[in-house]
Amino acid sequence: MDDLLEELRAGLPADALITDPDVTATYAHDMASFCDAGAPAVVVLPRTVEEVQHVMRTATALRVPVVPQGARTGLSGAANASDGCIVLSLVKMDRILEISPVDRIAVVEPGVINAVLSRAVNEHGLYYPPDPSSWEMCTIGGNIGTASGGLCCVKYGVTAEYVLGLEVVLADGRLLNTGRRTAKGVAGYDLTRLFVGSEGSLGIVVKAVLALRPKPPQQLVLAAEFPSAAAACDAVCRIMERGHTPSLLELMDRTTVRAVNAMASMGLPESTEALLLCAFDTPDPAADLTAVGELCTAAGATGVVPADDAAESELLLHARRLSLPAMETIKSATMIDDVCVPRSRLGAMIEGTAAIAGKFGLTIGVVAHAGDGNTHPVVCFDHTDADESRRARESFDEIMALGLELGGTITGEHGVGVLKKEWLARELGEVGVELQRGIKAAFDPLGLLNPGKLF
């Protein structure tokens, strides 16, 4: 420990190091349940690329593991510390280095908050689409690490589609540049995409070149009530089959709607079994909402209410963003699953989750990015009750198994981390895991970067 601190201090300012165990303990884990976390030896908060390089050179020389972190809003334990590690928190590297309206790119450091970037590019008439529910807190570096999605994925895609290039500090301290600033390019293997979603296991992202889009018109939202989740999912299939391209297509089940009302008095219809929110940011969103409203009615909607203006639309979106915080008020702990299935199997996924909730006697609410089949079943339980905690974990596993049975994946946007290591192996298979471990070894032969995550 003394050697480690001495070497780190040789290349870092004093305020970049935290050694107080009471403080370092607060950096030990992200927001996931059922994920082990160790005690870090030290927390480092660098401000420059050179400081990150110094940390990695020191770690390599002394064979000390390094756990990179953003805002720790993750839900899979990917940012959890291991015993004796260096926690490398990148939140102080928070500069927007460039915004180019001509090239439609932004160049940012990893600690930039998603919402801060979004507002900054909006001032230039531009738009950065990826918008996780935690966008007011989560960092771009964390979004890249877990390949985050968000509410607008159905039209605009996920983080991976907006990362053009990266500057990465490798495990031994070398600096790697990947990708490009140009609109297209195919020079060599796509190492940029390899880092997106790698959860800090291959290198430390210290700079990112992000693609931007022109700022779209203000979107309008429609809310549709359904007597069952199956009917709501039927409406989703009809909307997509007819070729509509909503900017948002979200589903909240009855449990979620009631939780949001209880927490924030939003006035959502509690009699509904499923509430579907659909938005368009087209030149004539009202016409698009009318067409979608007719499809919802044909699918069995008992009520279809289009928003009259942007303010009403924003109120509905705010209710959706409150879904996960509201579910957290039901019990002392939650496990938030992240299973993505083909859109055509969304109804089966939600109905199957309800059956799992009944089997284990638990409250499980479902909120979903319905337009891309990404469900977030939220398992609520009392963490002080051993039996209820066991049932929560078993229900979580059954939900993931259901997702795979339906042709889906165990994670659409939250990542694997510690929570889903066993399930990643099941999804990829023996050959897939072997190849992924080989890639890890090529970038990090000593296994120092975020050890114990993914596989």
> Using one digit for the tens of pLDDT, what is the confidence trace for 237-255?
999 999 999 999 999 999 9
Residue type, 1: M
Residues 230 and 311 in one domain: yes
Residues 33 and 70 in one domain: yes
* Long-range CB pairs of 353-361, under 8 A, 24+ apart, other chains included: 353/377, 353/399, 353/402, 354/229, 356/395, 356/398, 356/399, 356/402, 357/395, 359/395, 359/398, 360/391, 360/392, 360/394, 360/395, 361/391
Q: What is the pLDDT of residue 356?
A: 98
Mean per-residue pLDDT for 375-380? 97
Q: What is the pLDDT of residue 326?
A: 95
Of the candidates 98, 50, 84, 10, the residue with the CA atom closest to the CA atom of residue 204: 50
Residue 13 has pLDDT above 90, yes or no: yes
Residues 147 and 229 in one domain: no
In a domain, 448, yes or no: no
CATH number at residue 289: 3.30.70.2190
- The distance in angstroms from the start CA to the end CA of the chain is 28
Q: What is the pTM of this model?
A: 0.94
Residues 65 and 139 in one domain: no
Residues 243 and 257 in one domain: yes
Whether the CB-CB separation of 339 and 399 falls below 8 Å is answered with: yes
Q: Which of 214, 247, 282 is the last residue of a domain?
A: 214
Q: How many CB atoms lie within 10 A of CB 274?
A: 27
Residues 31 and 104 in one domain: no
In a domain, 380, yes or no: yes
The alpha carbon dihedral of 144, 149, 150, 155 has a sign of positive
Residues 206 and 179 in one domain: yes
Residues 228 and 314 in one domain: yes
In a domain, 449, yes or no: no
In a domain, 450, yes or no: no
Q: What is the pLDDT of residue 189?
A: 96
State the chain's mean pLDDT as an integer: 96
In a domain, 164, yes or no: yes
DSSP alpha helices (H): ranges in 299-420? Answer: 310-321, 323-327, 346-360, 386-405
In a domain, 452, yes or no: no
Q: What is the pLDDT of residue 272?
A: 94
Residues 102 and 210 in one domain: yes
In a domain, 362, yes or no: yes
To which residue do tokens 């593991």 refer? 65
Residues 109 and 185 in one domain: yes
Range of the domain at 21: 2-89
Residues 129 and 229 in one domain: no
Q: What is the pLDDT of residue 410?
A: 97
Residue 142 has pLDDT above 90, yes or no: yes
Q: What is the pLDDT of residue 22?
A: 96
Q: What is the pLDDT of residue 34?
A: 86
More confident residue, 1 or 240: 240
Q: What is the pLDDT of residue 43?
A: 98
CATH number at residue 366: 3.30.70.2740
CATH number at residue 180: 3.30.465.10
Q: What is the pLDDT of residue 347?
A: 96
Residue 33 has pLDDT above 90, yes or no: no
Mean per-residue pLDDT for 98-121? 98
Q: What is the pLDDT of residue 133?
A: 84
Q: What is the pLDDT of residue 210?
A: 98
- The rounded Cα 439 to chain-centroid distance in angstroms is 23
Dihedral in degrees, nearest 10, Cα atoms 355, 329, 159, 48: -150
Residues 297 and 241 in one domain: yes
Q: How many domains does the chain have?
A: 4
Beta strands 126-127 and 105-108: pairing type? unpaired
Q: Which of 326, 345, 371 is the last residue of a domain?
A: 326
Structure tokens, 160: 């991976």
